[in-house]
Structure 1
Amino acid sequence: MKDKITIVGAGLVGSLLAVILKKKGFDVQIFEKRKDPRKSEIAEGRSINLALSHRGIRPLKMAGVFETIEPYLIPMKGRMMHDQAGELTFQPYGKEGQFINSVSRAQLNELLIESAEQAGVDVYFDHKCTDVDFEASTLTFENGKTIQADLIVGTDGAFSAIRKQMQFTDRFNFSQHYIEHGYKELCIEPVDGKFLMEPNYLHIWPRGNFMLIALPNADKTFTCTLFFPFEGTPSFSTLKSREDIDSFFDQYFKDAKDLMPDLVDQFFHNPTSSLVTTKCEPWHKNRSILLGDAAHAIVPFYGQGMNSGFEDVRLFAEMAEAMNWDWDKILPEFSNRRKKDADAILDLALHNFIEMRDHVGDPNFLRRKKLESKIQEQYPKEWIPLYSMVTFSDMPYSEALRLGKIQKQVMDEFLQQEEDEINFSKVMERFNALKQGGWKAGQ
């Protein structure tokens, strides 16, 4: 393969793509605006743990790097809910043996950069892209360097420089939306080298309009993230003094507060960050294409941001190989085919935020989960819960969203009956009828 491929962005998606394309025999180089993360310390409060699941693991295996990453993963088999009294309730993510994996973004990024370099990829840091000529397939950087490539791939995140240049081209659609909530990260330190909570769960403190979550790290810490409105009461705008913060955490997250003696100092020191979603189309322009957050940034509430980006990489590489690496055909085909699934996971992630912060402790939600568990027990192949479709399968996100809406409608209908009156064969009959009948909302 003689084509020269230039990737802009040495984050998770760009580094993984580089490994796969280099192993296919292409001349691959990455340009990254940041300094080398292996030589600079990450800012406190910006580590952002990730939840690696099936869709992300499969491309890592495809690249031959999963074995390198696996020792850094901590399995999480479900949600551990903390109520305001500190009582715990467990909700498994899937069937016995199914789990997602907590992993440090920084650690994973470093491992993928190293894997790219070991594969022979040239990685250039401190290179900020300032201009793209989509007709000539050239990139210009802040230091004056100009690069020509046979294929340009923008994997440079939610505020992509490549996408920004596409926005100046004809018939390119772009939108972004900031949700009303921001986030602040906190840390639960180990004591005597031991975790202070059970590590194999995603801990969650659902409180209606806001929530706290905690994910375990390999160094026995927990990264906690408070998702909280910027405005209103309570909100980030109302927590101004040490007393405000103490009182707020005493009221809503007392058991978590007791594990963080330096909580108030962390709260003041660590930044408050916003959450943005983006949509654009088309994802390509001539010999340039966007992947990952550059094409479809989403909120983190389904744990699918990284996984969907990695799936972009796998599907793109598989399609490219099947089409004999004909970029002029591959780019528009991939852009068109993948767009609906990116839109679907954006919608799913926004909805899951409401479920996580508000519904997980609600009696009606728990009754729904109980019913769904019984249906799945009797019909394990026909009825797969939405979370499992998204997290433990390769089903297109758009199809998972469609089936999830049908399941919700069916359960809404049958939950009106008493539990012992529900006929599960009729539940499945109704589900299959809607599934096969060109379902539309409300039918």
Structure 2
Amino acid sequence: MTRQAITLIGGGLVGALLAQLLARRGFAVEVFEKRPDPRRVGFSGGRSINLALAERGLQALRTAGLGDDVMQRAVMMRGRMVHPREGASGLQRYGVDDSEVIWSVSRGGLNMLLLDAAEAAGVKLHFGQSLLAADLDARHVTLADEHGNQRQHDAAVVIGADGAGSALRTAMNDYLPLGIRVEPLGHGYKELEIPHAAGPNRFAIEPNALHIWPRGGYMCIALPNTEGSFTVTLFLPAHDKHPSFDTLPDAATAAAFFREDFPDLLPLIPRFAEDYDSHPVGSLSTLYLDRWHIDGRALLIGDAAHAIVPFHGQGMNCGFEDTVVLADLLAESGSDTGDAFAEFQRIRQPNADAIAAMALENYIEMRDSVADPRYLAKRDLGARLAERAPKHFMARYRMVTFTHLPYAYAYERGRAQDQLLEQLLRGSTSANDVQLDTAVKTLEATLPPLPQLRHG
């Protein structure tokens, strides 16, 4: 028996996956996406072309029956390959071994795969349809195509998966204030490319790593693509200081800056001038809402509810985790979407707040701490404690990236563990200065065992 009809605004990654999961649970789902169908016109949109897929997102894809298909299109990243100003590059592993890695995936390829899966599950997809208004009392939405032609669509239950600039969020806020707070990071980003190399290797630098050039208040990163290229992202302050995007307005000034600060990276980007001058500067902000839903009529999910900065690689993973929680709640709730929406916010909002905070902290870690002796000493001591007392210590990054422990738990446990590491090191910059047996006893006396919930 078909359950009630659900209207989804947004056919990106989160919207397409949610649509498929709901359709598989018997809901009649229609999706309205403002962009054209990427499967017909090619993928575009000016956003990062590859993303980091971790265990949370992968588990959601497994739930949808898509895990194997996605993994065939992914490149493994074992850790951070750190390229300092001086000295040799070095790999900082994310996990203990190759069972704990993240994966670089193409945004466009993944979106198209998810749209195919949604369509195969019976979802009706409508492209080139922008949301103009949502009448939550009359329970219909008004949409317009690329020519401005308008239509109304009955929408007793509407879910916004339309990203950080959500049109449904605007309409909901006009109806009932949602308590919107946007906190700009003050930094922006611009994308460049290392093309694939000639010859059988294809990759110009180590393929199985996320590359970082940390420079204190700014950095470059590079993620591998399956065909051998790398997507390079430059993160800089937006204004008011040098370097910033204000002081590097064009390729000529930027190239001089790269020759000074990223001399090993610049020769790998042969189209630097063209990329720099043609690619826009993206903005970075964190979005907080007091209210994610209006009773059982309208709900926001993914970036539409809790957009975060990208420095923990968890935006997509968090959104995918949202979809499984919501689909399960709606399937259990019958016709009472109000209870399901309220429970969804109750479960997910503390976790969204926690990963937002950790993403902001990770920016400082990536651009600054990865080359800092104090950070490296804590990292080394944490690894030793995790090996000696795995039931009591797991690095926060591993909790976030390789388990299903709630983000909120990982955040609080990570803070407690960091305080303990500070206490054990007592200002030292070498883990060798800590007596390990004593440290393990202190750990086990100070912190309770970790929950049993671990991988997969």
Query: How far does residue 433 in structure 1 lie from its aligned partner after superposition?
Result: 5.4
Alpha carbons 1:410, 1:427 under 8 Å: kept: no
CA distance in 2, matches of 1:46, 1:338: 25
Match of 1:336 in 2: 346
Match of 2:107 in 1: 105
Query: How far does residue 277 in structure 1 lie from its aligned partner after superposition?
Result: 1.4
Q: Which residue, out of 371, 379, 382, partners 2:389?
A: 379
**Stretch moving more, 417-426 or 374-383:** 417-426
CA distance in 1, matches of 2:389, 2:446: 17
Match of 1:275 in 2: 284
Q: Which residue, out of 391, 411, 425, partners 1:401?
A: 411
Alpha carbons 1:184, 1:273 under 8 Å: kept: yes
- Structure 1 residue matching 2:38: 3-state secondary structure: coil
- Cα distance per residue 1:324-372 (max 9 Å; x no partner): 4631211111112211111111000000000000000111111111111
Query: How far does residue 435 in structure 1 lie from its aligned partner after superposition?
Result: 4.2
- Structure 1 residue matching 2:142: 3-state secondary structure: strand
Alpha carbons 1:15, 1:113 under 8 Å: kept: yes
Match of 1:441 in 2: none
Map residues 361-372 of structure 1 onto 2, 5 A cutoff. Answer: 361-372=371-382
Match of 2:8 in 1: 7
CA distance in 1, matches of 2:95, 2:21: 30
Cα–Cα, structure 1 residues 192 and 420, in superposed 2: closer, same or farther, change >3 Å? Answer: closer
Map residues 346-361 of structure 1 onto 2, 5 A cutoff. Answer: 346-361=356-371
Match of 1:195 in 2: 203
Query: How far does residue 321 in structure 1 lie from its aligned partner after superposition?
Result: 3.1
Map residues 117-156 of structure 1 onto 2, 5 A cutoff. Answer: 117-142=119-144, 143-156=149-162
Match of 2:39 in 1: 38
Query: How far does residue 115 in structure 1 lie from its aligned partner after superposition?
Result: 1.1
The runs of 5 or more residues in structure 1 that have no matched partner are: 438-443
Query: How far does residue 51 in structure 1 lie from its aligned partner after superposition?
Result: 0.2
CA distance in 2, matches of 1:421, 1:213: 33
Cα–Cα, structure 1 residues 436 and 134, in superposed 2: closer, same or farther, change >3 Å? Answer: farther
The amino acid that maps onto 1:394 is H
Percent identity between the two aligned chains: 41
- Cα distance per residue 1:141-181 (max 9 Å; x no partner): 12321112342111000011111112123352111121111
CA distance in 2, matches of 1:201, 1:288: 41
CA distance in 1, matches of 2:176, 2:237: 37
Cα–Cα, structure 1 residues 180 and 148, in superposed 2: closer, same or farther, change >3 Å? Answer: same
1:219 and 2:227 matched: yes
The amino acid that maps onto 2:151 is K
- Structure 2 residue matching 1:167: 3-state secondary structure: helix
CA distance in 2, matches of 1:67, 1:272: 34
- Structure 2 residue matching 1:254: 3-state secondary structure: coil
Match of 1:266 in 2: 275
The amino acid that maps onto 2:203 is F
CA RMSD, 1 decimal: 1.9
Alpha carbons 2:9, 2:33 under 8 Å: kept: yes
- Cα distance per residue 1:125-148 (max 9 Å; x no partner): 111111112233321112321112
- Structure 1 residue matching 2:203: 3-state secondary structure: coil
Query: How far does residue 399 in structure 1 lie from its aligned partner after superposition?
Result: 0.8
TM-score (norm: length of structure 2): 0.91
- Structure 2 residue matching 1:258: 3-state secondary structure: helix
Match of 1:413 in 2: 423
Map residues 24-103 of structure 1 onto 2, 5 A cutoff. Answer: 24-43=25-44, 46-85=47-86, 87-97=88-98, 98-103=100-105
Alpha carbons 1:406, 1:431 under 8 Å: kept: no
- Structure 1 residue matching 2:188: 3-state secondary structure: strand
- Structure 1 residue matching 2:340: 3-state secondary structure: helix
Query: How far does residue 86 in structure 1 lie from its aligned partner after superposition?
Result: 6.6
CA distance in 2, matches of 1:245, 1:342: 35
CA distance in 2, matches of 1:145, 1:45: 28
Map residues 232-271 of structure 1 onto 2, 5 A cutoff. Answer: 232-271=241-280
Structure 1 stretches of 4+ moved >6 Å: none
CA distance in 2, matches of 1:19, 1:296: 22
**Stretch moving more, 240-249 or 294-303:** 240-249
- Structure 1 residue matching 2:37: 3-state secondary structure: coil
CA distance in 2, matches of 1:169, 1:429: 56
The amino acid that maps onto 2:401 is T
Cα–Cα, structure 1 residues 324 and 364, in superposed 2: closer, same or farther, change >3 Å? Answer: same
Query: How far does residue 430 in structure 1 lie from its aligned partner after superposition?
Result: 4.5
Q: Which residue, out of 295, 298, 301, partners 2:308?
A: 298
Cα–Cα, structure 1 residues 391 and 241, in superposed 2: closer, same or farther, change >3 Å? Answer: closer
Cα–Cα, structure 1 residues 126 and 45, in superposed 2: closer, same or farther, change >3 Å? Answer: closer
- Cα distance per residue 1:280-336 (max 9 Å; x no partner): 122111221111000000000000000000000111122333444631211111112
Match of 1:185 in 2: 191
CA distance in 1, matches of 2:406, 2:158: 26
Match of 1:440 in 2: none
CA distance in 2, matches of 1:386, 1:40: 41
Q: Which residue, out of 151, 160, 169, partners 2:166?
A: 160
Match of 2:453 in 1: none
CA distance in 2, matches of 1:242, 1:322: 55
The amino acid that maps onto 1:275 is L
Alpha carbons 1:7, 1:154 under 8 Å: kept: yes
